[in-house]
């Protein structure tokens, strides 16, 4: 997550129970231990962050204490949050997944309004993942990793309701990869990390592949535009479930990478709750 007002990059080490912050001007890095798995990071309009933890949504201001604001799916102990984003009306969207059987359709998609009302918008989700909106705010993208697909919806920005779900892009099961986190650039292109395939792919709004970025590790997890001109694409990666032999071959697994792909992103919205 890139903060325009701070000119800083945030990312999560969810199994390490911490978040990281990198100040772009000074290059100073900070590791913030939270003692909880952090699945996704959003920015608040007032100050601080909104976080998706395993079972809770929480507020956090660096240097302060976690404030748990709500929990979900306590009747499904295997489920947890996986990814989340803020829309341009300041609402927080978060999806869940089965953390044991990743391909089980037990997840859901939720919307948290600015008054902290929680709405469940979709069920039977197979590993909720990357979310994003088109620049005109009329199209919503939502990834289900183990349907190996990114879906596209018509979006009503006033009501905050997606409709007319349809397929946008798929990843071949035989490729060894699956779609993970995503971001949308200023031209409406959808950048999707393909975990297991070692690449990030850009799709035009019509679904055509326009760019492929090969990453020197097999498990890219998400991507986000940042930098003063929002023209730097940051890519997070994972080393989860990799064998010692794989880590020996790909020692940079778990690193964050950056490149300038010749396109720029949009400022991430702020949660108004």
Catalytic center residues = 180
- Between CA 271 and CA 47 the distance in angstroms is 10
Q: Which strand ranges, in their side-by-side order, compose the sheet holding 149-156?
A: 128-133, 139-144, 149-156, 161-170
- Secondary structure percentages of the chain, helix, strand, coil, to 5: 5, 55, 45
Helix (H) or strand (E) holding 14: none
Q: Which strand ranges, in their side-by-side order, compose the sheet holding 107-112?
A: 79-86, 92-98, 107-112, 118-125
- Between CA 16 and CA 236 the distance in angstroms is 14
**Tokens of residue 112, six digits:** 């948290």
Which residue reads 């998706």 in tokens? Answer: 52
């Amino acid at each position: 997550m890139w903060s325009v007002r701070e000119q800083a990059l945030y990312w999560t080490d969810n199994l390490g129970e911490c978040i990281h912050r990198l100040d772009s001007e000074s290059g100073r890095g900070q590791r913030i231990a939270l003692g909880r798995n952090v699945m996704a990071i959003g920015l608040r309009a007032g100050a601080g962050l909104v976080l998706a933890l395993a079972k809770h949504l929480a507020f956090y201001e660096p240097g302060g204490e976690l404030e748990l604001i709500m929990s979900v799916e306590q009747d499904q102990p295997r489920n947890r949050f996986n990814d989340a984003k803020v829309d341009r009306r300041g609402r927080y969207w978060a999806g869940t997944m089965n953390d044991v059987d990743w391909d089980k359709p037990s997840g859901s998609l939720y919307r948290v309004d600015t008054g902290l009302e929680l709405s469940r918008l979709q069920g039977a989700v197979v590993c909720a993942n990357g979310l994003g909106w088109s620049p005109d705010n009329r199209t919503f993208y939502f990834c289900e990793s183990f349907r190996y697909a990114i879906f596209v919806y018509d979006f009503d920005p006033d009501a905050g309701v997606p409709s007319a779900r349809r397929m946008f892009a798929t990843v071949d099961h035989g490729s060894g990869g699956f779609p993970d986190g995503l971001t949308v650039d200023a031209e409406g292109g959808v950048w999707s990390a393909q975990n297991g395939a070692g690449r990030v792919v850009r799709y035009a709004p019509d679904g055509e592949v326009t760019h492929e970025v090969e990453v020197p590790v097999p498990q890219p997890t998400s991507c986000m535009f940042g930098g003063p001109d929002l023209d730097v694409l940051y890519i997070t990666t994972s080393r989860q479930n990799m064998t010692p032999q794989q880590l020996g071959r790909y020692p940079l697994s778990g690193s964050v990478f950056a490149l300038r792909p010749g396109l720029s992103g949009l400022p991430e919205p702020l949660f108004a709750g």
